Structure 1
Amino acid sequence: MKRISLLLPLCVCAWMPVAAQQEQQMQAPADSVKNIAYIDSIFKELPEVMITGERPIVKAEQGKLVYDLPRLLGNLPVDNAYDAVKNLPGVMDLGEGLMLGGQEVTVVINGKVTTLSTGQLNALLKSIPVSRIEKAEVMYSAPARYQVRGAMINLVLASGTGHEPSLQGELYTAFNQNHFESLAERGSLLYSGRKFSADLLYSYSYDRDRRETDKEALHTLADGSTHQMDMYENTISRNNSHQIRLGMDYAFTDQHLLSLVYTTAFTDSKHNATVIGAQNSLTNSHADNQLHNTKLDYQTPFGLKAGVEFTYYRSPGSQLLYSTLGNETMNFLSRDNQRINQWRFYAGQEHTLGKDWGLNYGMAYTTALDHSFQRYYEPGTETLLPDNNMQSHRREQTLNFYAGLSKSFGQKFSADISLAAEQYHTDIWNEWSFYPVANLTYTPAAGHMLQLSLSSDKEYPEYWSVQNATSYMGAYSEIQGNPLLKPAANYETTLSYILKGKYVFSAYCSYTKNNEMQTLYQSPDRLVEIYKFFNFDFSEQAGIMMAVPFKIKNWLDSRLTAVGLRYHQKDSDFWDISFDRKLYTFVLTMNNTFTLSTKPDLKLTLTGFYQNKMIQGTFDLPRSGNLNTALRYTFAKGKAQLTLKCDDIFNTSTISTRIRFGNQNVKNHYMRTTREFGISFNYKFGGYKEKKREEIDTSRFK
């Protein structure tokens, strides 16, 4: 910092005599030209001497780690917000959602909670250009005022209002090829004005996929007989997805901001599956989902934030199944639909008190109505069959109150504590829960930070998983709902240390009561394997994480992230068997960026991921990993980028799950091709300086 602060006055001192002499150069004698050239050469050489510092990519603010995302991703071929989040230290994508230090994390936009599901949120993040993100705020324990519990990542996007009128945008297209082809396209526009701004985003994706599963199963019945249930499944899928997002902001006066966001998404998919072996079946299924979300939000300069949000989700589907297992034949046409109407009202107030005290409080009320049905028909005649039909009309209500205090004790220590009380009400459950949160931050010196976080959270089950419905994947495999599924309560503490503003070290432990998880069970009463969500007694996790970046001059920029952890899962009433399982394991990721050339701007990235053995209930998950590479060419004064990539070079991401527990004996060998070649191009126009929007929670939708 001292060198940087001295740079400006030195440059000014050097520039003043040069400027003065340049004005007199026409009248100066010839022998003075040497002096002018000498001073000018000193001015030109100064930057080479002074540019030796390095700004930190992360700094600590009250209860959060703030990452300079443009600097962190500057050398990486990252083109969307989802991949940007994956490159934050400690964040990993384990296939079922993003994890922060081994724990599930919620991603929000500009600090605003949404009602999108995990899958829909991830799809939205993948459609957002990374150039719109200013910074990322990482919280291992989100304060109650965010109305998010547990770990949270807040993506902060540039504000569109307060600028001279301008129109900016970006176009993007990508083509990928593994077994089949896939295509992704998006376009975005942002109009910025003094008081009004509007942004429009449209994205489209198309992909085809092929998945192969080789099942080896030995099924033991209650009478002691064993049956070899080996079979091979081949599934071909096709998906189309459209997303449109329109957001508008109007600033009445300074810090009086009215925001309106409308998001809609349409997805249609088709799946054709063929199974041969102990079971022979042919399945054709189709799903057509649509989402509409409208959110109105108002912010005032005196700390009041209030809003209302409405979500409509509809997911009709159909399945035509013909399957044989021994002498049994299953032949039906099924139709199902999930329709969700969800309202959310919220208001919060923040006060800045004297002596660095802060006070915040507020409430949120959410009500959802789930209309769902599932019906089975005779193929051809479509006569309604008498068994396994389901009709549901289920209401759910959540009422939340919170209050919090924050305090800065000088420049080195700060604290942020809060408490939320929440009532969860359904036809089955009606209970109050309390969620304490605390963040303590100590900064002993510049670039060094120690943070202790305590959090609590509750995870609600997906809407469809609590329906009394049975779905079939064939005569041997079925999925059962669980109407008695409880919300899971989680408690976690994290201790983090940042060294020199870039090295991150964390230790954490968590305890989840009634942890909900879906696993497989071979029934002793009949030849069928059942997939069903259960509440485990508990799930515990403890681990350490480190993120270590390093550079070699100007040609290599790398970061190693390592997580070591201990799993402990227990369920005393899992069907007719109980389990109490423990496992020590680790995860490694490494990102390397090689600068091949600055003119032209060519960069090569090599990223790797390795996960050791894991457990999931009675499942054993083997080690897995991947190695990806990409070549990025930036041109047209930084406005255009062309990227060539190959993901999972050695095709090692696919795993084989196994159950060897009690009388359970199943191995599923997945043979999907994950090696993928791709090319993408994006172009920014109009000065491009965009802003982004918040998401919608559909994690519990079907």
Structure 2
Amino acid sequence: MKRHAWLWMGCLFGALPLPAQENVKEEHVETLSADSLITGDARMDSLYRNLPEVLVVGERPVVKASAGKLEYDLPRMIRDRPVDNVFEALKELPGVVEQDGALTLGMQGVTVVLDGKVTNMSTQQLYALLKSLPADRIERVEVMYNAPARYQVRGAMINVRLRHRIGDPGVVQGELYGKYNQDHEASFEERASLLYNGNKFSADFLYVHTHGDSFNTTDKEARHWQQADGSTHLVDNYEEMRGRSHTHTFRLGTDYHLAENYSLSFVYNGSYMTGHNTQHTTGTQTADSRTDQTSWLHNGRFDYQTPFGLKAGAEFTWYNAPDKQWLDSRMGEQCLDFYTEAGQRINAWKFYLSQEHSLKNGWGLNYGTVYTTSIDHSYQMYYGNEEREIEREELPDDVRSRRREQTLNLYAGFSKSFGKKLMTDFSLAVERYKTPVWDEWDVYPVLNLTYLPADGHIFQLNFSSDKSYPGYWAVQDVVSYLGGGYSEIQGNPFLKPEIDYSASLTYILKSKYVFRAWFNHTKDRALQTLYQSPDELLELYRYLNFDFEQQAGLQASVPFKAGSWLNSRLTLIGMWMRQKDSDFYDLPFDRHRLLGIAVLNNTFTLSRKPDLRLTVDGRLQGRAIQGIYDIPSCGDLSATLRYTFLGGNALLTAWCRDILETSMPCPQIRYEHQWVTNEYSSFRSVGLSFAWKFGGYKEKKREAVDTSRFK
């Protein structure tokens, strides 16, 4: 708790003089509010006429509403923030929080798409692409708490519109970037980005190389109850893992404009990764493990758009990830000594055809179809150590799998504007999901209502349903070992898709203060939890379907300023969550928890000439639950110094993140006879980055793949 107290003292000190500063600002009429600009306040014109010697600073609204979506001027929101890629920029949106490496919107899962194009890439592959794209590539961002069916996404969606045209024909612009980061070990990143604009043809190219070493530890303490004799075994292990990796990411995007709103585009995303990890375990168990991993990704997509609303496209994804593991483990009389080869190869195709019509009296009509198919070739082969007499039958069974999935989606929807104050968007999708285990039809309605009672005031009411499919590897009937072998990961071929029903109400005041309330009910919620086997000294990790999960929450995002030297935003989230599973092994549960999250972002302008800015960000999260896990509170305090020079074309950034080393939550289980504590390492990091933009990359304006299910 002392570290959390210091965390908030560090990130709150800049807000103390705020009231006095704001009063001075209003008395001297130096700044106009966002709503005054929206309403065309006459003061603005009178200030220019009668007080020509006074500099009037206008504040444009950062968000505006249209049917079913909110459009954010994200480039302006991050102008003074130390963000250098699209992934980090998205965390500046109100309500977007990074949880366990994934982006959430109002504590709900969110799908990120580029230029309205949903891809076959997994979430992790898409995040890797977002982290490689320069933040200056963002033109605007569209946020939808419930995406209509025509976007081919269900649930929350963030649509990142990238800049594709950069001024006069023949112009080439680009950026060179390098980064060094040091926590326990050092890591590096080099990036090159180019944009070209012709009369009808434009292209962008990106190459990123990330590499370095990693180090982390796990201190595990367990009290393992055995049903046979009622005894309890104490397990006290300390694990150290060291790794080295190289990742090459590349992207090529082209657009050919035949005429206005008549275009053909092609985007290719690829990556190649190699990783080598070693792990040493001491304590109750002694073990040594080595893993070699390699992965390739190739993703290509064609899109065709016509002036009369017809769109068509095709996408192909090829992913291959083989790995090898050597494990030698001893715990009491138990012994594991083997070599294994495993891998996953995914071939996925997607085809879509859609049509939109703009009708009279503010009506719009849309309909279309989407077909996706994938083939998962996965395998896992075990080889015993004959010298040590580790017999093959003592190891898990070999697995070779060829699993096909097919999804057919048919949808139709309409939109209607009732004057300038009320807009509605409704869609209905019918979808068939077919695998070797499941063959189901589902219906997904989505309703969005947008009401603008006055300038600067926005109400949005959303209802939707959604289905999320499990990862490819999670449904394979495979067994693999985590750590020194005390932990076993099991696949679940009968894992069901989870179905979500949600409702939310969003209110935006003065086009910048965001307030939101929501309720979600998720049937067959799929989560991976730990369970200590009562039959043997083994803890099991397996994805299981809970009966349901429910969440109800409130969110407030409030930006504020102090003169021209401080720009801050406070985000508060309060949430009630409940999880129930009536057949969780021999331990049914029905648990609930109140959870609070507070995020404070501060940007201090230390100097304008030279341009020197300091950011201090803090986050504090209360206790949470996941199945029978108890997840303790955690927090983060970070500071970044940014120096811009050479007319804004060069940017030097230095940082210190996780200053108090409190960002990593350490989960524990204290439920019936289940007793486990996992202490994960958390290291303070310091770093330095340099970016150089050429060809007017920053000043001139011009108008990526979902892999969450891959291994």
Same fold (TM over 0.5): yes
Q: Tell me if structure 2 keeps the 8 A contact 1:109–1:692.
A: no
Equivalent residue of 2:496, what SS?
coil
Residue 617 of structure 2 is aligned to residue 607 of structure 1: yes
- Secondary structure at the aligned position of 1:264 is classed as strand
CA contact 2:164–2:203 (8 Å) conserved in 1: no
Q: Distance in 1 between matches of 2:46 and 2:413?
A: 45
- The equivalent of 1:664 in structure 2 is 674
Q: Distance in 2 between matches of 1:649 and 1:391?
A: 46
CA distance in 1, matches of 2:66, 2:41: 23
Aligned-residue offset at 1:174: 0.6
Measured in 2, the distance between the counterparts of 1:344 and 1:691 equals 32
Q: Residue 380 of structure 1: CA displacement?
A: 7.9
User: Which of 98, 104, 109 matches 1:104?
Assistant: 109
Pairing of 1:60-71 with structure 2 (within 5 A)? 60-71=65-76
Over 3 Å counting, the alpha-carbon distance change for 1:514 and 1:134 in structure 2 is: same
Map of 1:129-528 to 2, 5 A cutoff?
129-160=134-165, 163-223=168-228, 224-379=230-385, 385-386=392-393, 387-473=396-482, 474-528=484-538
Q: CA RMSD in A?
A: 1.9
Aligned partner of residue 89 in structure 1, secondary structure? coil
Structure 1 outlier segments of 4+, above 4 Å: 2-11, 379-384, 689-693
The Cα of 1:670 is off from its aligned counterpart by: 1.2
Q: In the alignment, does 2:648 pair up with 1:646? A: no
Give 2:14's aligned residue: none
Shift of 1:6: 8.4
Q: Are the counterparts in 1 of residues 385 and 391 from structure 2 also a CA contact under 8 Å? A: no
Query: Which residue number corresponds to residue 4 of structure 2?
Result: none
Distance in 2 of aligned mates of 1:439 and 1:3: 28
Secondary structure of the corresponding residue to residue 339 of structure 1: strand
Structure 1 residue 655, shift from structure 2 partner: 2.3
Q: Secondary structure at the match of 1:122?
A: helix
* CA shift digits 1:447-488 (9 cap, x unpaired): 001110111111100001100000012331110000000000
Deviation digits for residues 362-416 of structure 1 (CA, Å, limit 9, x no counterpart): 1100000011110001348999935421010111000001111100000100000
Aligned to 2:642: 632
CA contact (8 A) 2:239 2:279 kept: yes
1:681 to 2:690 alignment: yes
One of 539, 554, 559 as aligned partner of 2:564: 554
Does the 8 Å CA contact 2:64/2:70 hold for their aligned counterparts?
yes
Structure 1 position 124, deviation (Å)? 0.5
In structure 2, the residue matched to 1:22 is none
Q: For residue 5 of structure 2, what is the aligned residue in structure 1? A: none
CA distance in 2, matches of 1:190, 1:138: 26
What does the per-residue CA deviation read over 1:502-549, in whole Å, with 9 as the maximum and x for residues that have no partner? 100000010100010000000011110000000000000000000000
The one-letter code matched in structure 1 to 2:161 is: V
Q: Deviations over 1:27-70 (max 9, x none)?
A: xxxxxxxxxxxxxxx9xx62625x14321111111111111111
Report the equivalent of 1:536: 546
Cα distance, 1:206 vs. partner? 1.0
SS in 2 for 1:554: coil
In the TM superposition, residue 233 of structure 1 has moved relative to its aligned partner by 0.7
Shift of 1:160: 2.2
Counterpart in 1 of 2:29? none
Q: Which residue of 1 aligns with 2:96?
A: 91
The AA in structure 2 aligned to 1:611 is Q
How far did 1:268 drift? 1.0
Q: How many residues align?
A: 668
2:31 alignment counterpart: none
* Residue type of the alignment partner of 2:502: E
CA contact 1:210–1:672 (8 Å) conserved in 2: no
**Structure 1 residues 692, 658: CA separation in 2 closer, same or farther (over 3 Å shift)?**
farther
Give me the whole-angstrom Cα distance separating, in 1, the residues matched to 2:584 and 2:599: 34
SS in 1 for 2:150: helix
Structure-2 separation of matches of 1:134 and 1:654 = 33
Letter in 2 for 1:546: A
**Offset of 1:691 from its aligned partner?**
9.3
TM-score normalised over the length of structure 2: 0.91
Q: Cα distance, 1:156 vs. partner?
A: 1.1
CA gap 1:692/1:507 in 2 versus in 1, 3 angstroms: farther
Q: Select which of 118, 121, 128 maps to 2:123.
A: 118
Superposition deviation, residue 114 in structure 1: 1.0
Secondary structure at the counterpart of residue 123 of structure 1:
helix
For structure 1, which runs of at least 5 residues remain unmatched after alignment? 15-41
- Alpha-carbon distance, 1:672 to partner: 3.4
3-state SS of paired residue (1:141): coil
Distance in 2, matches of 1:579 and 1:4, equals 58
Correspondence list, 1:587-602, <5 A:
587-602=597-612
Q: Highest Rg: 1 or 2? A: 1
Contact 2:167 2:702 in 1 (8 A): no
User: What is the alpha-carbon distance in structure 2 between the residues aligned to residue 486 and residue 273 of structure 1?
Assistant: 33
Secondary structure at the aligned position of 2:130 is classed as: helix
CA positional deviation for 1:7:
6.8
SS at match of 2:75: helix
CA gap of 1:173–1:352, structure 2 versus 1, over 3 A, is same
Q: Deviations over 1:309-339 (max 9, x none)?
A: 0000000000000001111211000001100
Task: Give the partner amino acid of 1:660.
Answer: R
Give the AA of the match of 2:601.
Answer: N
Question: What SS does the aligned partner of 1:565 have?
Answer: strand
Distance in 1 (CA, whole Å) between partners of 2:347 and 2:129 is 20
| The 10-residue stretch of structure 1 (600-609 or 92-101) with the greater mean CA deviation from structure 2 | 92-101
Q: Distance in 2 between matches of 1:321 and 1:617?
A: 30
The 1-side partners of 2:569 and 2:677 are apart by 36
TM superposition score normalised by structure 1: 0.93
Query: Given residue 299 of structure 2, which amino acid in structure 1 is its aligned partner?
Result: N
Task: State the shift of 1:238 in Å.
Answer: 1.4
Any conservation in 1 of the 2:367–2:412 contact (CA below 8 Å)? yes
Answer yes or no: is the 8 Å Cα contact 2:166–2:702 preserved in 1: no
Work out the CA distance in 2 between the residues paired with 1:378 and 1:5. Answer: 82
Between the aligned residues of both structures, percent identity stands at 51
Aligned to 1:38: none
